[in-house]
């Protein structure tokens, strides 16, 4: 089997409410959907979701499309998509960095490989350890009354009791007052984490940590700029709230440096930032060897990208800290003809071959205005 063609589609889907990071509010998904066709008629799908442009990382939807169409497609067309490791290695040589672009193509190759062999992607990367993953819901509207109602609503509908609150866009004192109000108005069994997305400096984080500890916040994700491993280590040494590295832990080499510098209590895994499923597994293996816990984050992907994250999470050693994969519920529509299922506080891993989901290519073409 050979890769015959690779096509990209740029899509936008509005969110049901704004999603505010430290860099500012986002109002919808912005993704590149990849359609990979083989000479035997199989079609694989992948996604690179980059909401807000080159803010979270250096890549944008425009750069992803350019890299795929001008460099990566030429490097992999004619190769066997079942050889996912070789494809990943070829792409790493073809371009420097650009993990989001590489991840989308690798995702599509795994989708084809699973379809060809009649098994879910998880079976191709070590086997399914679990059929569902604990769900972590993101609260990011910045309006506490809305967030209280939202938290209670997703708990009632889906049994979700783990929440990640986005902070860092406004003054830290205002953020903490918002978190304090939230925690006073939700059940005590709700677990509350914070994610600053590099929005604080060390002085602000030092001020916040004892107050977060008093509130009962369990985890603080990426409080400092990603390169400040020394500052992250000093925060970790206080032992007040667990420090999680996200933007500081882009790939396995970053995870090694975090371990060397004792810069975090745990890390966030994401397929996009690691260059795909294989890179994510490498990061997780390094963390496992060092006894460093992790959870699965996302880039607010559609159901397509979410399915790939779930297949990967299904095969990891420990997912007790859950996965923040709210994209399909956050969007006003999706690109799938199947559904990602949220139930009893968990997200179910799609059981079908490949990524386990069906892409509605007619919808993708409509969203991209592509004939």
pLDDT digits (tens, 9 = 90+) for 211-221: 999 999 999 99
Residue 189 domain flag:
yes
Which H or E run includes 157? helix 144-158
**Same domain flag for 114 and 186:** no
Q: Is the pLDDT of residue 370 over 70?
A: no
For residue 142, the domain's CATH number is: 3.20.20.120
**Same domain flag for 241 and 108:** no
Q: What is the pLDDT of residues 90-115, one digit of tens each?
A: 999 999 999 999 999 999 999 999 99
Q: What is the pLDDT of residues 17-45, one digit of tens each?
A: 888 888 788 888 899 999 999 999 999 99
**Same domain flag for 217 and 131:** yes
Residue 75 domain flag:
yes
| DSSP β-bridge partners for residue 48 | 32
- What's the rounded Cα separation, in Å, for the pair 205 and 134? 28
Residue 8 domain flag:
yes
CA 317 to chain centre: 18
Residue 295 domain flag:
yes
For residue 110, the domain's CATH number is: 3.30.390.10
**Same domain flag for 108 and 228:** no
Residue 341 domain flag:
yes
Q: Which domain holds residue 54?
A: 3-122+359-368
This prediction has a pTM of 0.96
* Three-state secondary-structure class, residue 146: helix
HSE, CB side, 13 Å, CA atoms: give it for residue 56: 27
**Same domain flag for 206 and 153:** yes
Identify whether the C-beta of residue 48 lies closer than 8 Å to the C-beta of residue 31.
yes
**Same domain flag for 93 and 180:** no
Identify whether the C-beta of residue 264 lies closer than 8 Å to the C-beta of residue 236.
yes
Domain count, the chain: 2
**Same domain flag for 214 and 363:** no
Token pair for residue 124? 């191709």
For position 343, what pLDDT does the model report? 97
**Same domain flag for 84 and 146:** no
**Same domain flag for 134 and 235:** yes
Residue 353 domain flag:
no
Residue 57 domain flag:
yes
**Same domain flag for 166 and 252:** yes
**Same domain flag for 159 and 78:** no
Residue 354 domain flag:
no
Name the pLDDT band for 64 (thresholds 50, 70, 90).
Answer: very high
For position 210, what pLDDT does the model report? 98
- What's the rounded Cα separation, in Å, for the pair 192 and 179? 9
């Amino acid at each position: 089997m050979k890769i015959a063609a690779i096509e990209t589609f740029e899509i936008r889907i509005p969110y049901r409410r704004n999603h505010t990071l430290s860099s500012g509010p986002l109002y919808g998904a912005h993704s590149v959907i990849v359609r990979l066709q083989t000479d035997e008629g199989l079609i694989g799908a992948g996604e690179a979701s980059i909401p807000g442009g080159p803010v979270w990382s250096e890549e944008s939807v425009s750069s992803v499309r350019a890299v795929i169409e001008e460099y990566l497609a030429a490097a992999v067309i004619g190769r066997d998509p079942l050889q996912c490791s070789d494809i990943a290695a070829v792409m790493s040589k073809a371009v420097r960095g650009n993990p989001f672009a590489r991840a989308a193509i690798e995702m599509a190759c795994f989708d084809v490989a699973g379809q060809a062999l009649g098994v879910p992607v998880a079976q191709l990367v070590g086997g399914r350890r679990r059929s569902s993953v604990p769900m972590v819901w993101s609260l990011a509207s910045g309006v506490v009354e809305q967030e209280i109602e939202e938290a209670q609503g997703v708990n009632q509908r889906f049994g979700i009791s783990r929440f990640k609150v986005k902070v860092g866009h406004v003054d830290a004192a205002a953020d903490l007052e918002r978190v304090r109000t939230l925690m006073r108005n939700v059940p005590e069994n709700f677990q509350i984490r914070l994610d600053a997305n590099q929005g604080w400096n060390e002085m602000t984080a030092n001020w916040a940590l004892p107050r977060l500890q008093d509130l009962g916040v369990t985890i603080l994700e990426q409080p400092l700029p990603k390169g400040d491993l020394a500052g992250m280590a000093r925060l970790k040494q206080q032992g007040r709230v667990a420090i999680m590295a996200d933007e500081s832990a882009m790939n396995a080499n970053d995870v090694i440096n975090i371990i060397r510098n004792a810069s975090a209590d745990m890390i966030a895994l994401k397929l996009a930032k690691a260059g795909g499923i294989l890179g994510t597994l490498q990061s997780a293996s390094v963390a496992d060897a060092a006894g460093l816990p992790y959870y699965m984050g996302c880039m607010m992907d559609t159901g397509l990208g979410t399915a790939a994250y779930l297949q990967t999470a299904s095969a990891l050693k420990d997912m007790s800290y859950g996965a923040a994969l709210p994209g399909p519920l956050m969007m006003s529509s999706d690109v799938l003809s199947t559904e990602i299922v949220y139930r009893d506080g968990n997200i179910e891993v799609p059981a079908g071959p490949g990524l386990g989901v069906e892409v509605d290519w007619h919808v993708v073409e409509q969203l991209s205005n592509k004939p």
